[in-house]
Structure 1
């Protein structure tokens, strides 16, 4: 009898098409989902074929996800226009533009075969220039601004049958470094976060299909375990998010291949710690050849640790995954033109047509994937 433990994983894909070795690996592991990046994107037709092929490779219909926030975190920017970033939209100040952004993002992802977007970012921007991977990605400089703007984006994207994932719980806004490189340390207490960083989660939680936990150490919460990431903290994931805040949807880790994790934990111990903390699914985005090692560790977990997560995943897939879309080039071209119109409306013609004029120096791997 085949194990269900692969359902606890979301895996990356190496290239622009599935090789025989890829198919064999995924059929053995039976992951719960896949995440695609810029490395997987060559043309609209190729990307739509890849997502369609991924739908057929596992016995259970998989989550097919992407990070499509807008701005520098736009995985399709090599094949189409990038929509404005969250910061550009909030600085523009027109809520109708944010609504439009949500709708066109949902349409673009659906026509390409995706069913989940790892967005919106719910972090508060305490410093728009901070070197903490969040530059340009935040919908607000205070909790209410995040609630208003991210909420509008989220509701409109979900209208197009794309599932959402709020991130990065409980807060990355005060990170002192980029978790792609090292482990940030945040000193806020839960009481302090309840009055600020957690307000967007409290307000928008009923409308989120999933929440992503972050790789940052919360010293006031886990002071007895120095260096423990929030994503591996039972106090953060289970006690705070699941019990205190009452969240009932999927909880997914951020990428376990980030420096904050791989520099300190081996593959196997990391996935076990994440699931024991209360996450339902773990993400392995880049070191895909380590997925079998991760699966063997997950199989060792007692049923008492995994049964609720497997039930949540099954329920989510039954209720929230839409029917397969067939790619239509005319529809793609129309949506790409609409994305450019949105860019022009938010940024003005000159910046919209010359993205390099508005671009900031690359400061995080998040925009290079």
Structure 2
């Protein structure tokens, strides 16, 4: 078996069996797990004012409209499980043949220190078999050093079967990680002013060409948050606009552009970060909207993207007391299992926002949060900072499975989805040469002229 390229399997098999399994799961579904006693209860912040807003979305993006005051159901049928039909499903056989340690590794997407490959990064990849890496601004100096680092990271994975997710937050505007060698791409807000779907689709393709040329294969974009709160400290120009129609149309166009060019898009930040007035990097935001209110605005772009076969969703660290009074969305079975997977029907990969952000670490222990989010239905846990944190999360998940708190079949479900996504995009750990950028930069400049008109 080639250690750099993912073993082949036919996606048609996945879809055929997912239909059978979904039907079986509906019959066999049981109630969710009990609360983790180590998880603190966070009280809603009384000073957060919610702006209800109004949607201008067309009928085709009409959202879930629960009866006002009706809680979101926490139950949801799992997606295709590798525990059924193993003999007929090559991917299921691969999952069944993995060690528990390797399975847990695939569920971890980690950040590293510095601009060069360090021993801690090597250990996370070669020993813990982490499924992916994320690079931030601090990891990137210039084009050559960035590519050297990415190639070194991939080389460290040569002893493992499955290629790495190499991920980055490349949105455009103020959230841009590419070095100065690349012509800058503007914020979503500037593209949103045009109201032009084609411009957003081109933006997605250009973003994909950027990240792929550098050796990345996953982009945490597009942002599908609606910028409905002027006091929001973290979204602002990162959003395409303040109404659901613009965000839905342009966001889906960008998502498709990224995917068509070969980069994995990750829509974010579900269930919607646009109406917060607290920065979740520092503290836990609270949004006191009902399910009916959220269905009329925040959920519309996400639901539409799911209908357009979104591959991956990032879930935010936001507390919605009227949906789940005890746990933020990223740790909530009601929101991930009940709403996202159950009511909205999302069967792709669920990724947490960074679990080392203040919204989590100020109120929860990292091990307890890791267990909670897996029980809630998350597939990939993003741990952006510190080797010790990756070790803590890995240990907590291994112990939770061995104690029976998390079933191994639950882990298998996530690993199946993760590996299916890696296969869909034909990921590889093959090294790249320094790219020739003039053609890409010229295309970006030409596109910039079109959105200025």
Contact between 2:223 and 2:268, CA under 8 Å: does it hold in 1? yes
Structure 1 residue 118, shift from structure 2 partner: 0.5
Whether the aligned pair in 1 keeps the contact of 2:232 and 2:274 (CA below 8 Å) is: no
1:299 lines up with 2:404 in the alignment: no
Give the number of the structure whose alpha-carbon radius of gyration is greater.
Answer: 2
Aligned twin of 2:415: 310
Q: For 1:327 and 1:298, how far apart are their aligned partners in 2? A: 37
Which deviations, in whole Å up to 9, do the C-alpha atoms of 1:44-100 show, x marking residues without a partner?
Answer: 122222222222323121111101110000111544332011001011334332222
Does residue 113 in structure 1 map to residue 220 in structure 2?
no
Paired residues of 2:219 and 2:265 also in contact (CA < 8 A): yes
| Residue of structure 2 in register with 1:363 after alignment | none
In structure 1, how many angstroms separate the alpha carbons of the residues matched to 2:342 and 2:123? Answer: 39
- Relative contact order higher in (CA < 8 Å, ≥ 6 apart): 2
Q: What secondary structure does 1:15 align onto?
A: coil
Is the aligned partner of 1:286 residue 2:385? yes
- Structure 1 segment 1-369 matched on structure 2, within 5 A: 3-4=101-102, 5-58=104-157, 59=160, 60-127=162-229, 129-205=230-306, 206-223=308-325, 225=326, 228-302=327-401, 303-323=408-428, 324=430, 326-330=432-436, 332-347=437-452
Spell out, residue by residue over 1:291-350, the C-alpha distance to the aligned partner (whole angstroms, 9 max, x if none). Answer: 1111111112331431211111122222224444633432x23323433443454358xx
Alpha-carbon displacement from aligned partner over 1:239-273 (angstroms, at most 9, x marks no partner): 11011111000000001111101112222122111
1:130 deviates by 2.5
Deviations 1:173-222 (Å, cap 9, x if unpaired)? 11121101111111112222222211112211133110000000001111
**Partners of 2:417 and 2:435 in 1: how far apart?**
35
**Is the deviation greater in 53-62 or in 252-261?**
53-62
Contact 1:120–1:153 (Cα < 8 Å) also in 2: yes
1:121 Cα deviation after fit: 0.7
Aligned residue number for residue 362 of structure 1: none
Aligned length: 343
TM superposition score normalised by structure 2: 0.72
Q: 2 CA distance for matches of 1:281 and 1:139?
A: 26
2-structure distance, mates of 1:16, 1:344? 34
**Relative to total residues, which structure has the larger strand share, 1 or 2?**
1
Give the aligned CA root-mean-square deviation in angstroms: 1.9
Question: Kindly tell me: are residues 21 and 287 of structure 1, through their superposed partners in 2, closer, same or farther at Cα, counting changes over 3 Å?
Answer: closer
Structure 2 gap segments, 5+ residues each: 1-98, 402-407
Q: Distance in 1 between matches of 2:204 and 2:445?
A: 14
Cα distance in structure 2, aligned partners of 1:257 and 1:30: 20
Q: Alignment partner of 2:292: what SS?
A: helix
Answer yes or no: is the 8 Å Cα contact 2:330–2:352 preserved in 1. Answer: yes
**Structure 1 residues 293 and 143, CA gap change in structure 2 (3 angstroms):** same
Which has the larger displacement, 157-166 or 15-24?
15-24
